Structure 1
Amino acid sequence: MEILNKILEKIKEYNTIIIHGHKRPDGDCYGAQFGLKSVIKTSFPEKQVYVVGETSEYVRFVGEMDVISDDTYEGALSIVVDTAIKDRISDSRYTLGKEIIKIDHHIPVDQYGDYIWVDTNFPSCAQMIAYFLRTFNDELSVSREGAVAMYTGIITDTSRFRFRGVSRLTHELAGMLLDFGADVVEIDQHLSKESLEVFKFKGHMLATVKFDDGFVYNVIKREDIEKFGVSDEDAAGTVNLMGGIEGYDVWFLAIEYPTEIRIRLRSSKPEIDKLANMYRGGGHKMASGATLLSFDELPKFLEDLRKFLKENK
């Protein structure tokens, strides 16, 4: 692909490269960021490569964010991964870079960047970085830590190879990362660990699930999060506990934040990204996010979801 050649050309051209991800980063965001950093540093040790943005306790084992000054961006290349919407980019200083590259696997929303590689056929952005590595395997390599990062990104965004979009290529690239030193048991131990607080919160969440016409959902308020002592990230991570119930193809969490209600919307059959687009969101066909201004909008969202499911049986 021409765009892959251009990205490699730009990586070779710049001495300083700064890699951004999205706000409230997940495993795939971390995997793509730290995986790409490792590919560049392993292949071109003389380059200065930084990963910046918000942190995630869940996948902090993958790597630690760098703290850099504004001056670092002078004459630098900014690369933004796993982010379809400009407003969701963590650390707005990416615009200070001399040029910007966008690498993403979400349905396009904002076409920012001087060079854009977007491919929705990839189930994770970390897989895109692994594919980039394999495409230029005569010039590029990666460390064990980078392989761990990318493997973590792939399995978290595919729910351990369970989601639609997983292909032979996904498994081939995962196998390549194992060859580079990614340890499946070690990664699983990190991802499977949870606190007693999270364990108890999961019990509460399952005990209060609400069943509707073809979908299930739950509402998580600030008082719930405070009562159980969990983080917003912990609460959001429980969404797939509601998946797989026979007769209910769609499920979501509505989580109260200080200024808005965030919807984590999932599906096993109908493509729900268009519904998410109606509520200030988007994402993948089977996994999207949306935003309500307040709980006052929830009844309308439920009504639109019922209508959507009737029209998409």
Structure 2
Amino acid sequence: MNSETINAVKELLSRPQKIVIVPHKNPDGDAIGSALALWHYLTGIGQETSVIVPNDYPKFLKWMPGCGSIINFERENTQAKEKIDGSTLIFTLDFNHLGRIGQMEKPLQEKVGQIPFVMIDHHQAPSDYAEVMYSDVNMSSTCQMVYNFIESIDTVDKVTPEIANCLYTGIMTDTGSFKFRSTNGRTHRIVADLIDRGAENTEIHHRVFDTNTPERLRLLGCALNNLVILKEYRTAYITLSQQELDAHNFQKGDTEGFVNYGLTLEDVIFAVIFIENKEEGIIKISLRSIGDFSVNEFARNHFDGGGHNNAAGGRSELSLEDTATHFESLLKNYQAQLRP
């Protein structure tokens, strides 16, 4: 954080505020972890603070300290709107465009220009709705940024065991258990400090990764059975239809991490999963890569999405079959980047 951002945040927090913290739609470990960590910190310094999520989040995150205080905009709409209407300061975490919050976009858009917004995010191409922007695409996670935020405007001594558990979870999940390129020495030093301050690293790993249901494992088997390998493009992709999801009693979060299996194949550097969502009428797309191939650019150019160079998301309004066919047709345009 630069001095201008630090001073702006300190000035905002120098007086009582009614703060709302908002992560992106379909929040993941980094979104929930950063939102709850910031909630613990702001509440701890005496600010009236609420976390409002656009919709539900996976069961494997619902153990996190403070999750019982989270307001779900879809299920608790009246309460959520009252909090937003009465807010004097809004923090948006782990996204940089209001289009990423689904039905919450309209009520938040109405607050733009009326009250200050603070953005904390590590994705590319931020929009300009926030008066205070802490944006850094080189960060491993928004949770790492929240640690920096607390350190910059206050002191890391304010990091309680509850905050440490939340931040560790977000950093761990968004770095692929510390294996992605965005993980650096600073990331590991922060993680070490979080453990020293009470983060239960072994227990966190167990709660996030070792609480599978039989249905989820069978769904993974179905996904791997659908795996298509395109050796000439060093690419692999998976499709999952709504019928397949329903047959395996799909729950939110069940497909988390499935896309990464493609990258475990020797000589594959580009992996994608296409998941049919009949309720929204779209195909949800997750893209991952190894090396210099930018899935952020690929998603932005072809699937109305974006994210990071090596991890991005997108969507398609074609059928599942037509989306996969269209995807394959695009690869010839990237032959030079995908071949050795």
- TM class, shorter-length: over 0.9
Partner of 1:271: 294
- How far apart, in 1, do the equivalents of 2:145 and 2:205 lie? 21
Contact 2:20–2:87, Cα closer than 8 Å, also in 1: no
Q: 1:69 to 1:245 in 2, by over 3 A?
A: closer
- How far apart, in 1, do the equivalents of 2:295 and 2:61 lie? 27
Q: Which consecutive aligned stretches of 4+ in structure 1 deviate over 4 angstroms post-superposition?
A: none
Partner of 1:229: 249
Partner of 2:282: 260
Contact 1:14–1:77, Cα closer than 8 Å, also in 2: no
- How far apart, in 2, do the equivalents of 1:263 and 1:303 lie? 16
1:38 aligns with 2:40: yes
- How far apart, in 1, do the equivalents of 2:317 and 2:185 lie? 41
Residue type of the partner of 2:324? L
Residue type of the partner of 1:201? L
Partner of 2:333: 307
The match for 1:86 among 98, 101, 106 is 98
Residue type of the partner of 2:56? T
Give the TM-score normalised by the residue count of structure 1: 0.93
* CA-CA distance at 1:306 after TM superposition: 3.7
1:70 aligns with 2:71: no
Give the TM-score normalised by the residue count of structure 2: 0.86
How many residues align? The count is 311
Q: What pairs up with 1:100-119 in 2 under 5 angstroms?
A: 100-119=117-136
Contact 2:43–2:49, Cα closer than 8 Å, also in 1: yes
- How far apart, in 2, do the equivalents of 1:154 and 1:139 lie? 16
- How far apart, in 2, do the equivalents of 1:153 and 1:75 lie? 26
Alpha-carbon displacement from aligned partner over 1:46-65 (angstroms, at most 9, x marks no partner) = 32111111231231112231
Partner of 2:63: 61
Residue type of the partner of 1:168? G
* CA-CA distance at 1:236 after TM superposition: 4.2
Residue type of the partner of 2:247? K
Partner of 1:128: 145
Contact 1:131–1:173, Cα closer than 8 Å, also in 2: no
Moved more, 207-216 or 94-103: 94-103
Contact 1:273–1:285, Cα closer than 8 Å, also in 2: yes
* CA-CA distance at 1:13 after TM superposition: 3.0
Residue type of the partner of 1:262? K
* CA-CA distance at 1:5 after TM superposition: 2.8
Q: Where do 5+ consecutive residues of structure 1 fail to align? A: none
Partner of 1:164: 181
